[in-house]
Amino acid sequence: METEKLFKVYKENLLQNKQEFIEEYKTVEKAVEESPARYKGKPVEFLYQPMFLSSKDMNMFDNLTQQLMTILNKVIQHYLHNEDFRTHFGFSSLLEKMILKDPGYDCNTPMGRFDIFYHYNGSFQFCELNADGSSGMSEQQELQKIFSSSKALNQYSSHYEYKGFELFQSWVDALLANYKKYSKANEKPNVAIMDWIEGEPPSEFIEFKKYFEANGCTTVIVDPRWLEYKNGKLYYKDLPIDCIYRRAVTWEIIERAEEVQDFINAYLAGDICVIGPLRSQIIHNKNIFAILHDKDKTPFLSDDERGFINKHIPFTIVFNNNDNEMVKYTLENKNKLVLKPMDKYASRGVRIGRDYNDHEWMKIIKDEAVEDYLLQEFCMVPKISMAKFTYDDIEFFDYNYIIGLFMYNGKLQGVYTRVGTKNIIGSIVECYTVPNFILEKK
């Protein structure tokens, strides 16, 4: 296929011109170190390797995400209107109350990042749905900007047009569209980017702040504990907040409810516009895959939708380590299975059977997968040969990769790719970000 040929040509060019590209890599590395592309205060780990995509790939991404959004919106609507259906999610009474609160606009998932295992032959499976505090936009934008003027891409300029993705102004536009529906007015809101802040705020927040301010919105970065609810309005110090871009994840808000009661009260009273709403937790919780696969729980889905689920969402059930038959099956099929907690982030607690011996797997089943764990079919992770630089050499290794599809107000907006040599690709293990570009022949 054409896209795969680009990877092959890239490899050949780098190996034939090693010294030239090693010098170029040093320049790119310095640019990344000086850029806002940071994770937990440090420059993002990256490979000097673009991720090549075609318009055909993008059309595929657009089609599959629209099919999935149709299914997910059905699930959300059923949750909102069917009390019996809600019991399958096991949410606390406070979380259920906050989910049922109308956010004042009609988009259930204003921002999401749907992570997929995508093979260049067109086959794919969804790995995870991030609809709560989605991140990675700054990494993609900054690497994209740096690579756009590098030899890595310029070597293709005579034969290909290439373009990246815009992820900041488009989010400002999406947020303001929702706020307009909430407020029924055209005024520019005072915006708070909200997360738990320990030390300096993430560079991505600072970048979003710049964009909001460039669009006429007074903007602050706040911790939910810093907010005060008085006289029907939520305040940060003396600044009345009209709209919150929520990055604080749901489970922490619920667990720490006593610390953020002012925020919760304002939300439940409808006195603050929060983008995204707490109802995003319906699809963010990993239990959603188990519910989608359960015909008895989802009779409202069509045969075509069920076919899509069976083909593209790994089979998932709620794990019970007191069920002897289930434990027996899990032990006998270790290499085909994954155990993961229902709601943690950054791959915390995810255990892939083939990464452990029989004794270790049994210990995980007995000691870790005790409560709120899922048993899931293992998906074959796609691989592709990518460049790894040292200061005096270039080597190519087969890297596993996972593609994140950014969704703004239910529509595909951009792509975020991480790669690694392990079966888990995430911030808790070796992981690199690579910039994404759409290349088309001139």
User: Where are the domains positioned within the chain?
Assistant: 2-62+106-166+402-441, 169-281, 317-378
Q: How far apart are CA 286 and CA 274, in angstroms?
A: 23
Same fold, 169-281 and 317-378: no
Residue 67 carries which side chain, given as an amino acid letter?
Q
Neighbours of 240 (CB within 10 A): 14
Nearest residue to 319 via CA among 384, 366, 385, 271: 366
Please state, in angstroms and rounded to a whole number, the distance separating the CA atoms of residues 212 and 191.
8
Q: If you count them, how many residues does the chain have? A: 442
**Which two structure tokens, joined as six digits, stand for 397?**
């290794």
Q: How far is CA 125 from CA 116, 198, 287, 387, in A?
A: 6, 36, 16, 25
Q: Which CATH architecture has domain 317-378?
A: 2-Layer Sandwich (3.30)
Each residue's pLDDT tens digit in the chain (442 positions)?
A: 578 889 999 999 999 999 999 999 999 999 999 999 888 788 999 999 999 999 999 999 999 999 999 999 999 999 999 999 999 999 999 999 999 999 999 999 999 999 999 999 999 999 999 999 899 999 999 999 999 999 999 888 888 999 999 999 999 999 999 999 999 999 999 999 999 999 899 999 999 999 999 999 999 999 999 999 999 999 999 999 999 999 999 999 999 999 999 999 999 999 999 999 999 999 998 899 999 999 999 999 999 999 999 999 999 999 999 999 999 999 999 999 999 988 655 567 889 999 999 999 999 999 999 888 999 999 989 999 999 998 789 999 999 999 999 999 999 999 999 999 887 776 645 789 999 999 998 8
pLDDT of 104 reads 98
- In the CATH scheme, what is the code of domain 169-281? 3.40.50
Residue 204: how many CA atoms within 13 Å on its side-chain side? 24
pTM of the model: 0.94
Closest CA to 193 of 128, 97, 111, 115: 111
Spatial CB neighbours of 271, under 8 Å, sequence gap ≥ 6: 229, 232, 233, 234
What is the per-residue pLDDT for 368?
A: 92
In this prediction, residue 1 carries a pLDDT of 58
pLDDT of the residue at 429: 59
- The predicted structure's pLDDT at residue 430: 75
**CB under 8 A, 24+ apart: contacts of 57-62:** 57/3, 57/118, 57/120, 57/438, 58/412, 58/438, 60/118, 60/122, 60/124, 61/118, 61/403, 61/405, 61/412, 61/415, 62/412
